[in-house]
Structure 1
């Protein structure tokens, strides 16, 4: 009897803790759902990488790249920093993104590759080195809306002050990705990653 009571109490406690975490975190990963870029001209946009499929940007990564294309074609940025390291495709995410944008008319000299990173924190850490080299301080970050809160946190940790240019996905199942993002935020807060 004591064991069943303990299991019930522990289970109830975990559910309550989960509801508190998700009640707090879900609004954070949803806060950029309906945010548009502010329309100010900036020096560059930082595009955070995602998967390549057969050395081509996945549909989700294409959404991010198309947002960067809009910023570029609207004259809101002169340069696009493509951040993503080596995956399982033989080329880096940055190289795959570059090919996609060059094929759509962006001159290669306006694309800067950060190709060492393997996660969001490294995307922004290594991009900060590029920004210092170019002395750029006016930036957009391009990623999916559910990922923007964590990306901006990592940007601040890296000394990058950037405006959000979020993408709302039409190809991803957003509730799944928001749930994963909540778990990533818990990991970030608990383990200071």
Structure 2
């Protein structure tokens, strides 16, 4: 019963947080805690369930805990190999492969601790599992809330649609990843335009400056892509100074404030990037919701891991502090044993 009460409290905090501002990472944490305590409550209630049901559920849980990590490691490694083949050997493309190998490495250490009966190795593995447990909880919370955030209804009263740039191919050509954002931005623009008066038609901002290997600013290539496909050129504003996502937000916000102070917007990026972009928008003071465009399935695991790492480090004082505390507990246990 206690677990259900705690779950209800965190669910209430989650609901209040979403109503106050959808773009808070605390919403993801509250949701994760609510689901965790709900799960604990359901497991505790198995003692009152019929024997057959209780045994079946426990067997399924044990199978997930034992075989799940092996299956996950295999899938991540396979995805990592595919990423390298399709996207090259850049560090960002190796994340899923490294995560899969890391899981296998931890499992190897656990097996070694059991086989050698080493107390020292057991404490080291236990400490590592505590840190990984904390990080995994945040990661699952991040994924769960990002999934929900990406499916929230688009605001109908926004004045601007901001499409974030992501680099050009050959110095001036829009690649498929960016084309997906632009097509989604056009859909959002048309949805907003249907509900607005003629004199309040929304404006689409293409946001992206010129990189060192690009012949034109990204925003210009993005605008040309849209115009070539029939989008009205007079409804496009080009933000061509930004080099990072943070600058996309800040410079686009300045353009909106200069034309329509206090205006709301819908920001378009790829689905794996939507929640982190929402956190950035809130930090930059942009009054906007972020929506995502489709991304190739093979690209999603590494991209999601990269996004999570960036969010984790955004709150590094808290996260690294907690991880350091867990390591300290393990070190104290090791010193006590010795």
Greater RCO (CA < 8 Å, at least 6 residues apart): 1
Report which of the two has the higher share of strand: 1
**Is this contact kept in 2: 1:37–1:165, CA < 8 A?**
no
> What pairs with 1:28-177 in structure 2 (closer than 5 Å)?
28-33=142-147, 35=151, 37-38=153-154, 40-54=156-170, 55-74=172-191, 75=193, 78-87=202-211, 88-135=213-260, 137-170=263-296, 173-177=299-303
What residue in structure 1 maps to residue 67 of structure 2?
Answer: none
Q: Partners of 2:131 and 2:216 in 1: how far apart?
A: 42
Residues matched between the structures, number: 188
Which structure's CA Rg is the greater one?
2
> Which segments of 5 or more consecutive residues in structure 1 lack a partner in the other structure?
none
> Which segments of 5 or more consecutive residues in structure 2 lack a partner in the other structure?
1-117, 195-200, 318-338
Residue 129 and residue 171 in structure 1: after superposition, are their counterparts in 2 closer, same or farther (change >3 A)? same
How big is the alpha-carbon RMSD for the aligned residues of Structure 1 and Structure 2? Answer: 2.5
Report which of the two has the higher share of helix: 2
TM value normalised by structure 1: 0.83
> Which stretches of structure 1, 4 residues or longer, exceed 4 Å deviation after superposition?
4-12
User: Greater CA deviation, 80-89 or 20-29?
Assistant: 20-29
